[in-house]
Structure 1
């Protein structure tokens, strides 16, 4: 509340100009002060990466100019070149295990309401959502009794034992993390991936498998068997004592050891967990997937491998993030690399053999962890509108390339690429969540794919395969249902807007299947460099610290009447922007819906003593992070309190009874909902 108080106080001083200095400790903004003067230069930002205001300059308009009009001809009789059938939950989220207490909730009785809403948005469109809890920090995570972790927390980190380029700390966690995941699944249709620790193999620590099978059961759909084993040597985790090297055949042997130990452990009495393994999850650093496949890995462990997997980031920002000694990349110099379609086709081309191999073995291939750049992404790129277009194009290209899913990674406060970020702990009583551009990618992808699980995706190589204006056709049961149109260019003059002229051929090859009208939803911003407040069909999650996970504003779906004579539908795409075209009227908007719309509001205060309050309308305008149209903030029946001590933070709940916490209001209190 100090920040709010100082800002309100400064607003009461006429003629004063306020400069803000932000003070921080690693991974957390602590407080800010204001200095009053007649004039002042803009202070340098010294806070955490997640809220860095640095804005880049959009790349110039391409020369020669991109053709402004192009034709798209779709066919109803078959889909040559289209992908395998895809599910609506194609894009999920990979939550680094070490920050799961920031993202999912404090413990099983205190779940983040904004997180529920964000997942609920995906489920509404796709029917379900996949979430992985793992990453580098899973590899040495140890399940301990809850009594060993103080203050009702679910995990604690050993910050003196960090390892690897990303300085990952060893973790201890309690089974309350798994109870929290179970409670989340009782509210939202979440399917979970977990990881088995792999740094120590003699013996493996299999406690997480036994606990997850007992607590989560069939809500777990996969257990990762190693995370980026091809980086183990580089990160100092191999060779193991007594060995002189480590390669794909060594990993093959460790996989066998895992199965032997799991069978003897008694932790998997039904054998279910042993049939849900995920591998090899190579990062394509020193091993290719084929190097692992050539060991006979898939044939030998076919009964155990539910998924094949790789992990890939297009580049990294490790030199800047962790002072590795390598040359530091200037984000401005690589901004254009994230704003063209060719980058995706080039990135995924090496995996086309692997996805074809997976199909030949009746397996599904996952891009198990990815985002714009490893080691946290780039400021001004990963957190700008261009990343929303990049992530959506990347997702559709993965679907076209016959991956069966991908997971956008979620880190802590110190990264740029988060799909969503909870506020720092010391600000959670008056700030809400920050929704990043990659979440918009996931949301729109869910809507593009729908919930039928019979969706096929085709890269149309549109506009003479122009890299700035890619387009995809999306088929349902072999029939064209939607068209995805991109424009990566930033041009406020309107001269770089493009128009796709769409027609749908009938069985004779003519355009007789073209609808009389189409409905269009737009993903928009003024520039690829814009930070926050993007709109999807006129609705937004706002800027930093502005969202409880629900879209705000009035939905705006455009109707485009088609040319009955030419049998074409002309859809304009602004520069920059994305358009999802529904081939038909209102029925086309609703026929592929997932679950009914359901959001979670907060209903009770937990911070009820020793708190200062201020009129929310004053605070909303004074701190610059307020907004209108949010019933959570201004509805009188949402503002109240419970008795001191009414929330038992140590209580484990069952999936049928969940106590949920969310950062929620501008009145200085964390709120709780009871279901």
Structure 2
């Protein structure tokens, strides 16, 4: 059980471990001089442990990607998550929100300049409808995607150097819908160099549950559909793109991930989804997730099953991806997903996933969801950073760019020997430096002495130094705090441009003899290296060429119906995947379509297009029982994720 130290003691411990700034070449130097090692706390005042820099059981992760942690955003939230606000695309305002651009810059700079990857997908990708489609519309295709939203994505890439994973629909087994969306929508509005990967489909292991396929639907049928879609897409747009799948929700991950990897040779990024404590599965109500239960997640060996999948991925030259996740699914849990406890969870879960062989991760939600890393605070009318965002920044700063390797650092000869309340991770960096991460998940502080400090080689024979970074919160109710959080002494509270407020802070300590005091509910990182501050620039974005989408067949860049593959015919299906027969009254429909064209101007003036999503989902009648009474679903009609 988590201990309950009185807040006064916790406050005194925070004061005792106050961060003193040291020079950093990447940001303006603070005025105060570097600190030396502080004296150890009095014996018996805190739990004392010995932590070794030696990888436990000799195991480290594979080298990791440059920008390890990115975002996963629903198609239904492109406007408010990346544009200038709710409804931005209807105003044809394709600018990036300045605060959002600053937040993405903060993530990018924390990893040495590597582009932040942003997945646009989720359940809304399954149910999206391309506005310019000429194919029969499926009854479950509820969410309209219009050209202005795609233009927002292109502008975000230009403004922030971000790269996109674009999810295309597989609601209809006919790949014509995915091909049409790519050729007529995506590649006419987004430059190919801004597309990190094309993801085919989303959560096929939930198709039957969501009545998108017949009850007999199983992995063999999905694998055949995926193969068909992949072949049709590559025939239409060529081989210049990477692909991602199968985006399992969880039920198929353990049993059918390896067969997918073995058969889908053209798919480089193999992705699965995982939320804390099983999220809104049939077994767990996300509303039952509390700060204290989230502190127990992830359990030490909970993800051991990923080891075999990671090994198979490497054998087949695949990149294993945590494609979507958060503290709890179904839009998160109020009072948990939007509070400081989610920041602690984000760091611990990210390191667990990296240790298990995952190369990239994506945190769900930006927009009107509880687990969003940032969202609109409607009381002040602007975007604000949520606690989860602080956890993402901390992860990027811990890993410090490309090719780091994560390991479990033994504590007192074991690992997590005080239960799940204290975690100790190690990181080996590409420049030869190393970091030790201590995460305290209880109110009581811990005192850490290090052993087996690696011999880091510095220029001109200089001795390596110890630099301590921290993530903490100043609050009388720390786990449920929404403000007062700092990373390296910096905060995003009240930021008007999405950039950090305050000087970057690191403590100076002798890595071999110093004592690190870690207050409860906080994270401390001891980095043994040569230079203070964040990692230097590892990646410099190329200057983007002007993107002029082709609009006519035969012109450079044209990717429409003029390709040799063309677009196969489609058939409208019902919710169970049954094909509809020919529509009665087709000629009448043509006449109606003509009338709509004539009335288009009037409809635009009346603002009907602006209200294409104005019919909100009644949260009390939502098909998912745990979505009922959700303020977000009832207010914005957002898609469940």
Per the normalisation by structure 2, the TM-score is 0.68
1:248 match: 219
1:335 matches 2:291: yes
Please say if residues 503 and 568 of structure 1, whose CA atoms lie closer than 8 Å, have aligned partners that are also in contact: no
Cα distance in structure 2, aligned partners of 1:588 and 1:222: 35
1:589 match: 533
2:483 match: 532
Cα gap change, 1:88/1:573 in structure 2, threshold over 3 Å: closer, same or farther?
A: farther
Please say if residues 277 and 284 of structure 2, whose CA atoms lie closer than 8 Å, have aligned partners that are also in contact: no
Cα gap change, 1:476/1:432 in structure 2, threshold over 3 Å: closer, same or farther?
A: same
1:315 matches 2:259: no
How much does 1:485 deviate? 1.3
2:393 match: 443
How much does 1:411 deviate? 4.8
Please say if residues 249 and 292 of structure 1, whose CA atoms lie closer than 8 Å, have aligned partners that are also in contact: no
How much does 1:480 deviate? 4.2
1:116 matches 2:101: yes
Report matched runs for 1:647-662 at 5 Å: none
Cα gap change, 1:66/1:173 in structure 2, threshold over 3 Å: closer, same or farther?
A: farther
1:225 matches 2:200: yes
Please say if residues 48 and 446 of structure 2, whose CA atoms lie closer than 8 Å, have aligned partners that are also in contact: yes
Cα gap change, 1:263/1:560 in structure 2, threshold over 3 Å: closer, same or farther?
A: closer
1:134 match: 121
1:168-226 alpha-carbon deviations (Å, 9 max, x no partner) = x7211123322222222222221110111011122431223224344320211211112
Cα distance in structure 1, aligned partners of 2:462 and 2:353: 28
Cα distance in structure 2, aligned partners of 1:79 and 1:315: 27
1:212 matches 2:186: yes
1:433-475 alpha-carbon deviations (Å, 9 max, x no partner) = 2211111111111111112x12111111424423212111111
Please say if residues 198 and 204 of structure 1, whose CA atoms lie closer than 8 Å, have aligned partners that are also in contact: no
Q: Secondary structure at the match of 1:486?
A: strand
Please say if residues 432 and 548 of structure 1, whose CA atoms lie closer than 8 Å, have aligned partners that are also in contact: no
2:240 match: 272
Cα distance in structure 1, aligned partners of 2:427 and 2:57: 10
1:519 match: 467
1:172 matches 2:127: no
Cα distance in structure 1, aligned partners of 2:355 and 2:534: 24
Cα distance in structure 1, aligned partners of 2:540 and 2:311: 35
Higher strand share: 1
1:259-286 alpha-carbon deviations (Å, 9 max, x no partner) = 343355x3x0x3224xx2211211122x
Cα gap change, 1:547/1:581 in structure 2, threshold over 3 Å: closer, same or farther?
A: farther
Cα distance in structure 1, aligned partners of 2:58 and 2:257: 31
1:517-541 alpha-carbon deviations (Å, 9 max, x no partner) = 4221211114222222211122212
How much does 1:363 deviate? 0.7
Runs of 4+ in 1 over 6 A off after TM superposition: none
How much does 1:591 deviate? 4.5
Matched positions, count: 480
1:469 match: 422
1:281 matches 2:281: no
1:622 match: none
1:201 match: 173
Structure 1: runs of 5+ lacking an equivalent: 1-56, 149-157, 164-168, 491-495, 598-649, 651-675
Q: Secondary structure at the match of 1:111?
A: coil
Cα distance in structure 2, aligned partners of 1:553 and 1:507: 33
Please say if residues 200 and 226 of structure 2, whose CA atoms lie closer than 8 Å, have aligned partners that are also in contact: yes
1:188 match: 160
1:431 match: 381
Structure 2: runs of 5+ lacking an equivalent: 7-43, 542-608, 610-641
2:75 match: 97
Cα distance in structure 1, aligned partners of 2:532 and 2:452: 15
Cα gap change, 1:387/1:66 in structure 2, threshold over 3 Å: closer, same or farther?
A: farther
Cα gap change, 1:378/1:263 in structure 2, threshold over 3 Å: closer, same or farther?
A: closer
Cα gap change, 1:518/1:292 in structure 2, threshold over 3 Å: closer, same or farther?
A: closer
Cα gap change, 1:569/1:514 in structure 2, threshold over 3 Å: closer, same or farther?
A: farther
How much does 1:58 deviate? 8.3
How much does 1:558 deviate? 1.7
Q: Secondary structure at the match of 1:305?
A: coil
Q: 2:504 aligns with which of 551, 555, 562?
A: 555
How much does 1:293 deviate? 2.9
Q: Secondary structure at the match of 1:433?
A: strand
Q: Which moved more, 1:394-403 or 1:344-353?
A: 344-353
1:306 matches 2:278: no
Please say if residues 59 and 335 of structure 1, whose CA atoms lie closer than 8 Å, have aligned partners that are also in contact: no
1:84 match: 62
Report matched runs for 1:442-521 at 5 Å: 442-451=392-401, 453-463=402-412, 464-466=414-416, 467-477=420-430, 479-490=432-443, 496-505=444-453, 517-521=465-469
Cα distance in structure 2, aligned partners of 1:223 and 1:263: 11
1:537-591 alpha-carbon deviations (Å, 9 max, x no partner) = 2221227xx65412113333222245xxxx4332111112111222135x14344
1:235-262 alpha-carbon deviations (Å, 9 max, x no partner) = 11002xxxx6111100111012213433
Cα distance in structure 2, aligned partners of 1:470 and 1:66: 20
How much does 1:483 deviate? 1.6
How much does 1:432 deviate? 2.1
How much does 1:60 deviate? 3.5
Q: Secondary structure at the match of 1:284?
A: coil
Cα distance in structure 2, aligned partners of 1:292 and 1:557: 42
Cα distance in structure 2, aligned partners of 1:402 and 1:317: 22
Please say if residues 342 and 387 of structure 2, whose CA atoms lie closer than 8 Å, have aligned partners that are also in contact: yes
Cα distance in structure 2, aligned partners of 1:133 and 1:558: 39
Per the normalisation by structure 1, the TM-score is 0.65
2:558 match: none
Please say if residues 517 and 561 of structure 1, whose CA atoms lie closer than 8 Å, have aligned partners that are also in contact: yes
How much does 1:346 deviate? 3.9
Please say if residues 503 and 514 of structure 1, whose CA atoms lie closer than 8 Å, have aligned partners that are also in contact: no
Cα distance in structure 1, aligned partners of 2:446 and 2:262: 49
Please say if residues 289 and 310 of structure 1, whose CA atoms lie closer than 8 Å, have aligned partners that are also in contact: no
Q: Secondary structure at the match of 1:442?
A: helix
